[in-house]
Structure 1
Amino acid sequence: MRLLLRIIGTLLIACAVILVIIDGTKSLGANAIVITPLRDSWTQMHPQSLAAVHDFLTSRLFGPGLQPAVEALLGCPGWAVIGVPGLLLAWAGRSRRVRVFLRQDQL
């Protein structure tokens, strides 16, 4: 289970790093800090899936209650929305054993 958490966490961190690089490249080109919201990144990659998620949420009973939270999440930077869960999953999948380091003269 820990291996699966580490793999998923690593993939999410890799996607977050890619989004940071994209924002950094845009910032260099614009000579200003550019932070792309998740909504814009998702729309550029696959707009049909964003529309499908929106339709799914509006057709459910809990949809109107979750709509403000989803809109706030889509307005945040994509690298933060993807990177924070990735870091948490990687941390949850870390090795639990205590590592003992010995100096060479202690051997």
Structure 2
Amino acid sequence: MRLIVRVLGTWLVGLALILLIIDGTKSLGADHLVLTSFEQTWSWINAESLAAARTFIASRLFGPVLEVSVNAILAFPGWAVLAVPGALLAWLGRSRRTRLFVRHDQI
């Protein structure tokens, strides 16, 4: 299970790095800072699933409350939205055993 969590976290951090490179390239070409929101990135990849997620959230009991928080998350840059949970998952999947170091005089 720890391996799956760590691989998923590493994969998310890798995607975040790719999105950061894309934003950096766009910023260099435009001569000003360009940040692509997570909503723009998601609609570029698959607009139908974004619309389906929005209708799913709107149909829930706490839809208006969830809609505000989801809109806030969708407004953040895509690389930031993926990097935070990716780093958290990679940290949770780390090896928990302590490292034992041996000094030269103990050999």
**TM > 0.5:** yes
Alpha-carbon RMSD across the aligned residues, in angstroms, is 1.1
Aligned length: 107
What CA distance in whole angstroms lies between the structure 2 residues aligned with 1:14 and 1:63? Answer: 32
1:98 paired with 2:104, answer: no
Q: Which residue of 1 aligns with 2:13?
A: 13
Q: Secondary structure at the match of 1:46?
A: helix
Could you tell me the percent identity over the aligned residues?
56
Q: Which residue of 1 aligns with 2:77?
A: 77
- Quote how far apart the aligned CAs of 1:102 are: 2.6
Runs of 4+ in 1 over 4 A off after TM superposition: none
Q: TM-score scaled to structure 2, two decimals?
A: 0.94
Residues 17-59 of structure 1 deviation map (CA, whole Å, 9 limit, x = unaligned): 1100110110111111111110111111111110000011111
- Quote how far apart the aligned CAs of 1:101 are: 2.3
Q: Which residue of 1 aligns with 2:44?
A: 44
Q: TM-score scaled to structure 1, two decimals?
A: 0.94
**Unaligned residue ranges in structure 2 (runs of 5+):** none
AA aligned to 1:60 is R
**Unaligned residue ranges in structure 1 (runs of 5+):** none
AA aligned to 1:57 is I
1:29 paired with 2:37, answer: no
